[in-house]
Amino acid sequence: MIPALKALSALLCYPDAELMAALPEVRAAIRRDPAFSRSAQSALDALCADLAACDLLDAQANYVDLFDRTRSLSLHLFEHVYGEGRDRGGALVDLKAVYETVGFEAPADELPDFLPMFAEFCATRTPDEARKLLAEPAHVIEALAGRLRKRGSPYAAALDALAEYAGAEISQEAELLTPTQEPRDFAALDAAWEETAVSFGPGAATNECGGDALTARLRHARRAVATDLNPSRAGAPA
């Protein structure tokens, strides 16, 4: 178990009384992990402090407004790759199968591409495996972090920390290219994120955690979000 990734998973979940009570342990787990820079730890401290100082109902309302009511901030990874397309269903099945292969028990009431769940799964792997897994959707994570920073949300710290753990650099260019006008309706957002279907199978690269399909699905996120951030790259090689 990687306690710091487990802590980041908890911070990205819907805040409840249990999370509020565990914030000191969450902060301690992050501080103990040398994988995070001082600036990342400081930003995560600020997020924990913000949550601790907030009324629970207010914290919950803020979370819903950010992640549930703002489509471009959705914490469901494959939504940023496939939108509401049919291919997303196959990707979810693939990811669930990878969880089951290694004995990871995912909650039945949440989709397997929910980022906090994926981070918790990564926390059950070795550090090297976790970094490789997190690196696959790093561009999605970076884009979400940039959008949260533009809103002045302290939650950006948790996304930045996940990207940092994966070894991904948060580029200034990616942040500046983040759209200021976010499509609100499903059809407009699907059009903005439209991509050709990903092919996967025996020819796809395999990681140590198993699942050729998972690797291909998550790698596809890089191209999808890169096109979202820079429309001039549409149709360019991944």
* Residue predicted with more confidence, 141 or 172: 141
**CA neighbor of 47 nearest in space, from 145, 165, 174, 167:** 145
Q: Is the pLDDT of residue 131 over 50?
A: yes
User: Is 102 strand, coil or helix?
Assistant: coil
Residues contacting 4, CB < 8 A, separation 6+ = 29, 30, 32, 33, 35, 36, 123, 165
* Residue predicted with more confidence, 126 or 179: 126
Give the global pTM. Answer: 0.73
The beta strands (E) that lie in 34-153 are given as: none
Q: Give me the pLDDT at residue 74, please.
A: 94
pLDDT in tens, 178-237: 343 444 444 554 454 443 333 222 233 334 444 444 554 444 444 333 333 343 433 443
**Mean pLDDT rounded to a whole number for the chain:** 77
161, containing H or E segment: helix 156-166
Please say whether the beta carbons of 18 and 11 come within 8 A.
no
Domain extents in the chain = 71-233
Of the candidate ranges 49-53, 126-130, 225-229, the one whose mean pLDDT is the lowest: 225-229
CA distance 213 to 64: 31
